[in-house]
Amino acid sequence: MISKYSLDFLSNLQANNNRPWFEEHKNDYLRTKKELEVLIKKVETNLNKVDNIEFSKLYRIYRDVRFSKNKLPYKDYLGGYYRRFGHDRRGTYTFDISPNGASVVGGGFFGPNTDDLLRIRKEFEMDGSYIDKITTEKAFVDSFGSLKGISLKTAPRGFDKNHPNIKWLRMKQFLAFRNFTDDEVTHKDFADQMTETFITLRPFLDYMTDILTTDMNGVSIL
């Protein structure tokens, strides 16, 4: 579904990230974009058999450089995400397609708001056994290795720096990604591999949803 042609386009874009080159190769971009659109819809169909997806979206290739020190006009990868439907399905499935073995599939919680982050930390402060269990399951480890994301260097305000669950309390993001080689990305079953990866991630998303939709007594707030 994703061809070597598309990976070659992205590789060439990395070496020629400027407007004149991009305009000269606009048709190559449109062909690559079309392949991604077909992929994202195929995986959405697959996911809707086991989850409930509100919509999927392909990220724009054009970078917003207004407030960035990096003035390169284009992203050198293409990706997208799937939004789960309803307040009782939190977390995001996402993917990036990039050459040279840099493609990733996974997702999680990229920027919990202040209230959500506090609720997550309070849960982990009270009991870290569930997050420990989910992230040490063989399927999770085989796919993602470990849960990753930006963390504080010390304990967040109001939490004990010597708490046994301090590694969870320090986290500000909760992300899990699986890397794919170029050969895997261009294989005919890549859409199925993406789907299986998202399914492996779902127990983590569902657990975090349970946290964010209940109070500290486990009573629903929906």
DSSP 162: T
Average pLDDT rounded to a whole number, residues 208-217: 96
Residues 59, 76 contacting (CB under 8 angstroms): no
Domain ranges of the chain: 4-212
- pLDDT value at 67 more than 90: no
3-class SS at 190?
helix
Angle in degrees, CA 205, 170, 67, rounded to 5: 85
Q: Has this prediction a pTM greater than 0.85?
A: yes
3-class SS at 192?
helix
- The pLDDT of residue 79 is 96
pLDDT tens profile 187-205: 999 999 999 999 999 999 9
Contacts for 221 with CB less than 8 Å, ≥ 6 apart: 213, 214, 215
- pLDDT value at 68 more than 90: no
Distance from C-alpha of 188 to C-alpha of 191, rounded to nearest angstrom: 8
With bands split at pLDDT 50, 70 and 90, how would you rate the model's confidence at 66? confident
Q: Is the dihedral of CA 151, 154, 159, 160 positive or negative?
A: positive
With bands split at pLDDT 50, 70 and 90, how would you rate the model's confidence at 102? very high
With bands split at pLDDT 50, 70 and 90, how would you rate the model's confidence at 216? very high
- pLDDT value at 51 more than 90: yes
- pLDDT value at 74 more than 90: yes
